[in-house]
Structures are given as C-alpha cells and as structure tokens.
Structure 1
Amino acid sequence: MAQLDDEQTQEIIALAMNYARSGDTPELLEFFDHGLPLDVQDGEGNTALMLAAYHGHADTVRALIERGADVDLRNQRDQSPIAGAVFKGEDEIVRLLRAAGADLDAGTPSARATAEMFNKTDLLD
C-alpha cells in the first residue's frame, strides 16, 4: 500500500472490516490485493475472518481461508473465529474453519466450551 498516515490506515482498516461484517467479499478482497495485510486487526483485535465468521458470511470466510488467513487468531477478548461461529450457530462456517485446521480448544471460551454452554455440541461432530 502507498505510504499512509495512522488516521488513513485506521480508516482503511475500518472499511475493510465493514466489508467483512456485511459479506462484501469482492470489495474486501480488493483491500488485500492492494497490500492490506490479510490478518490485520481492528482496534478490538478482530480480523476480517473473525467478523465474517461471526456475521455468517460463508463465502467471505472461504475466500479468506483460501488466501491463508489465520483461522486461530484471537481478538483482544481472547475469542476465536470458530468459537464465534459456534455461538452464532453457523454450521457451514464451523465446517469451513474446522477443515482449515481451526483449534477447537483455542480462546476463552473455546469453541468446545461454547458448544457445551449453548448445547450446540452437534456442530463439532
């Protein structure tokens, strides 16, 4: 990316994260194609993968995994993408993250603990 000041960088990160939240995959991937680091984190430590997973955007999650996003990178609250997907009941996203090697025991609470708390252990079968 071109040399940007901190404010411009934060604006770009915010835009990218909004695209991840809304599942606008082509727009999101443009940021990464132009040099934004794939595992960049917002002010709360969330990555695009975390936000796409939490908001139920399987196509976006798939595209980020295919590009090499870290499936276990946790936010500042020690939450993992797969635990968020379990919490939200996003079966397809849980399957995608598991297939990509996501750690079911990473984070607090872990995906396994989240599944037990919300009686969603079938998502991890």
Structure 2
Amino acid sequence: IITLLHARGADIEARNVSGWTPLHNAAHYGLCEAVTALAKCGADVNALDWKGNPPIDKAIFYGHHEIVRYL
C-alpha cells in the first residue's frame, strides 16, 4: 500500500504535530515491512522530529532490533 500511495503522489515526508514522519511511526510501532517500503520509496531515514530524534531512535527505544539493523 505504501508503494502504491507513493506512486500516486502521497507525501512520505508528511509530519504530524510532533514532527514525526511515517518512518518515525513505523519504527516506533515495529512495522518492519512499512519501514522497508518507506525507505525504498526514498523516505529520509535521518529525518529528525521536533526533539531531534531520527526514526532509528524510536526503534532502539522500543527494542525493534530488526528495524535497527535495517536503518
């Protein structure tokens, strides 16, 4: 679905009120397939939220080791 939405013009760098991108959310919730799809679509893996945290920090904090290795 992510690839299809991106192909149809969805903004994969859109941010919520905390500055999280879809990649921050996927890393936070341990959604490995979503992280992979977003990265392959060109999502910025180093994007910082308003506190200065990149998506990998979410994966580290919540113990999503597969995502940490990927990012």
Structure 1 and Structure 2 fold alike (TM over 0.5): yes
TM-score, normalising length: structure 1: 0.53
Aligned residue in 1 for 2:40 = 66
SS in 2 for 1:40: coil
Q: Which runs of 5+ in 1 are unaligned?
A: 1-25, 98-125
Give the superposed CA RMSD: 1.3
The residue number in structure 1 matching 2:70 is 96
**Of Structure 1 and Structure 2, which has the larger fraction of its residues in helix?**
1
Equivalent pairs, count: 71
- Cα distance between partner residues in 1 of 2:55 and 2:46: 7
AA aligned to 2:30 is G
Larger Rg: 1
TM normalised by structure 2 equals 0.88
Secondary structure of the equivalent of 2:36? helix
Contact 2:28 2:55 (8 Å CA) reproduced: yes
Q: CA deviation at 1:80?
A: 1.1
Q: Which runs of 4+ in 1 moved over 6 A?
A: none
